[in-house]
Structure 1
């Protein structure tokens, strides 16, 4: 006999994902959903007047439906496992397990259905619920990051292209780059959630032949059955045509959207790790947190690193869904079953995990005045000062020309001194600030107000205004749609 400590523990469940997401993809939730699907089918068949073989009596009686309703949740996993070991069929194992506790409804359970009636429809139900949870958590992340962007919209910081110093931006404006990706992800995830269809009651190869036989050739009742079952399970849209399964492209679409979220959070996490190296932004660090077992001084960006690692796993899963969609034969093959049991739940568990880390990065309190990411303003300002002399040269040139200087002569003065300062920097002497001292001493710049021309805020363009506009136009609608999710927190297990 094995115990939970004797066997592999999936870290997505044991360490990273929320209990809510883990339980949704657990066996009890799945098999209870199967029973609800059997009930919905039986109810719809009864409502449409399904008749017994005599053509007069109701095929499904009210007391049978009542008995089925009484046993929606008392799933005995051990009993079902014993049946499956004997029958080698998971759906029929649960049909037998239900019969054991509700024998009176034995002949109405799974009536006219194929296995994919419960397996596929249950997956669609769980995926839609999971997409909704992902959207709610993502909205909370967007809200918190929007607050961060607003707080730091005016703070000049060194911008980078090619990870080389470029022009100035602001801390808040950089955050809007992360935000925009996440807003795009939310829109795509909402589209997949809201457009996810129900497989419905389609029969063994999608022809609905079994239901047509049950309803004695009444096509309209078969069509109504499909719609009624979908409605009972909360779906408006139906897959228009299926084989035995719904098109596996729907799985692929969903995993692609989740992968997109992983891409965005990986990019953000990577930027945070680079900024941590520059000591400009620190992630939350708790009072007794240890950065390294050997190097006691270390303060590693472990949350961002974990987020990137899990996001990388998430980004790798869509390839398997694509392979499954591409390799289904005709109306279906069973080689889709085993991998889908792995990559669909794990994609949602992983998406949930990376979002929890993202939310923790933005909302974790480590002290009375420390909430979320810590912007080390003196370090940020030092980086600005280090490179501002070079960035300011064009503005200084224009000011010197406006004061009466010759443009080409001014340009040559700047060129000569900037190269001289750079050479000293590369030799390990001097600093970029020396360039200002050199130019101040030049007659061509005698009438230039260096303090006014070299204020870092003069080099950030419309960055503060762009932050305010982005938040108003793109973050505010998210806040309005998900008002109940705002302020959500995420405590990490480790």
Structure 2
């Protein structure tokens, strides 16, 4: 069978292809090859600009950059065909570029392609570069859109009183908008932290010491060259002391940061799910859609359930990436290679979840009647307010008095509270102050 959304093994490229297809530009095999070609070409140009005499007459930088700018699926296939012969993916990229140099009439310069490098100098710059592109182009706009939607809802519902539930039990009332604002603050805080993590890259030859560079051109300052190439030309951050591979410590920090943000969205999804089950929210009914194959009346909160499942999958992979990648035997083993090819997978599950949450949020219809009914059934929650004011006034054992009221009476309603207040040995002015407290106005600041 040919590969299609119907025959793909992974739902990322199958069932959820429409939600994830934009990630192919960053995490597909063709994309990885293109990023490698980009690094190789920019490295060659940087070598030419560094003063190496053999490259002094190079004048066609535009033609060289066109190799990656115009990189096509046909080009990617040519690299894969070369790999069948070399059995080495980065060497195949080198040979592909050499063919392009032949076509450009600069065959005499092609031995400076990949000069002095090991494959990890290419991988450990191409992959963080693609990771950075994906975060900036796809992830940050997606999460910002979600935070913006939550902030809008928090503002719209900032005055809506709601019964809080601590330990699943009725607690001091809150406001719906504030509860959503909690998630806005948490997400924004973690997002700000995520954006401070550098995109670290390794670039220094076979074991990180520029051995080959130095033996060929001992008078050149290769550390300065490497720093300029990685930090200024590529816009990454070069790790100064490395083995053959990048430490991946900062990449692990990225994974942990993304996982924390996903955990917050899991928390949000479960809360919204609970509010829907409590009838605080209705969901828009979309014509033609079916909630249950057996029960016609059902409109299930599937968007939030889908999000929770995909966020869990993403986090399992982010956790493995952050735990595994910083660990390598001696100067390098190959266990990072196959793992790195999967960095787009948790990214994709995260994106699927984000789109599910946005879809779910836009379906929500506030049911103020249910919120008010819950508050009406729980007048006992004003007991905290009453006993606190009685403490202020020096009334003896107010907590105990309210505890006896709320735990012994089977019905605690407005009338029961008023009767209790009337029985207190306090002034009429204070009684009126206490009676003015309701589950709808006892919502704090």
TM-score (norm 1): 0.78
What is the Cα deviation at residue 442 of structure 1? Answer: 8.5
Residues 392 and 67 (structure 1 numbering): CA distance in 2 closer, same or farther, change over 3 Å? closer
2:83 match: 84
Distance 1:96 1:120 in 2: 19
Aligned to 2:212: 210
Structure 1 residue runs of 5 or longer lacking an equivalent are 52-57, 365-371, 423-430, 463-494
Q: Is the 8 A contact 1:255 1:321 kept in 2?
A: yes
Q: CA deviation at 1:284?
A: 4.9
Query: Greater CA deviation, 107-116 or 72-81?
Result: 72-81
Asked whether the equivalents of residues 13 and 22 of structure 1 are also in contact (C-alpha less than 8 Å), the reply is no
Q: Equivalents in 2 of 1:273, 1:457: separation in Å?
A: 23
**Residue 246 of structure 1 aligns to a residue in which SS?**
coil
Q: CA deviation at 1:176?
A: 1.8
Aligned residue pairs: how many?
430
Structure 2 counterpart of 1:31? 33
Deviation readout 1:403-437 (Å, 9 max, x if unpaired): 9x98679976x666644542xxxxxxxx543x625
* Secondary structure at 1:242 match in 2: coil
* Residue-by-residue CA offset, 1:326-367 (whole Å, 9 max, x unaligned): 53012111111112211x1112222322222333334x3xxx
CA contact (8 A) 1:39 1:65 kept: no
Which of the residues 432, 439, 444 maps onto 2:423?
Answer: 444
Cα distance change of structure 1 residues 456 and 93 upon mapping to structure 2, 3 Å threshold: same
Select which of 178, 185, 194 maps to 2:190: 185
CA RMSD, 1 decimal:
3.1
- Aligned 8 A contact 1:269 1:304 in 2: yes
Counterpart check, 1:68 vs 2:73 = no
Mark the CA change 1:285 to 1:210 in structure 2 (over 3 Å): closer, same or farther: farther
Q: Which residue of 2 aligns with 1:391?
A: 381
Q: Is the 8 A contact 2:23 2:348 kept in 1?
A: yes
CA gap of 1:417–1:161, structure 2 versus 1, over 3 A, is: closer
Residues 124 and 246 of structure 2 are in contact (CA less than 8 Å); yes or no, is this contact kept in structure 1? yes
* Counterpart residue number, 2:316: 316
User: Any idea what the Cα deviations from partners look like across 1:121-174, whole Å, max 9, x if unmatched?
Assistant: 011101112222322322222222111111111111011111111110110111
Deviation at 1:400, TM superposition (A): 9.3
Match of residue 228 from structure 2: 228
For residue 461 of structure 1, what is the aligned residue in structure 2?
444
The alpha-carbon distance between structure 1 residues 286 and 449, as it changes in their structure 2 partners (threshold 3 A), is: farther
Q: Is the 8 A contact 2:385 2:442 kept in 1?
A: no
Cα contact 2:282–2:366 (8 A) shared by 1 = yes
The structural deviation recorded for 1:231 is 4.8
Does the C-alpha gap of structure 1 residues 191 and 353 become closer, same or farther in structure 2, counting only changes over 3 Å?
A: farther
Change (3 A) 1:351 1:442: closer
8 Å Cα contact 1:283/1:303 also seen in 2: no
Contact 1:282 1:374 in 2 (8 A): yes
The corresponding residue for 2:255 is 255
1:301-341 alpha-carbon deviations (Å, 9 max, x no partner): 11111111111112212332244235301211111111221
Distance 2:356 2:127 in 1: 26
Residues in 2 aligned to 1:5 and 1:147: alpha-carbon distance in whole angstroms: 35
Q: Aligned to 2:325, what secondary structure does the other structure show? A: helix
Match of 1:152 in 2: 157
Q: Which runs of 5+ in 2 are unaligned?
A: none
Question: Relative CO higher for 1 or 2, CA cutoff 8 Å, sep ≥ 6?
Answer: 1
SS in structure 2 opposite 1:458? coil
Q: Pick from 99, 105, 111 the counterpart of residue 107 of structure 1.
A: 111
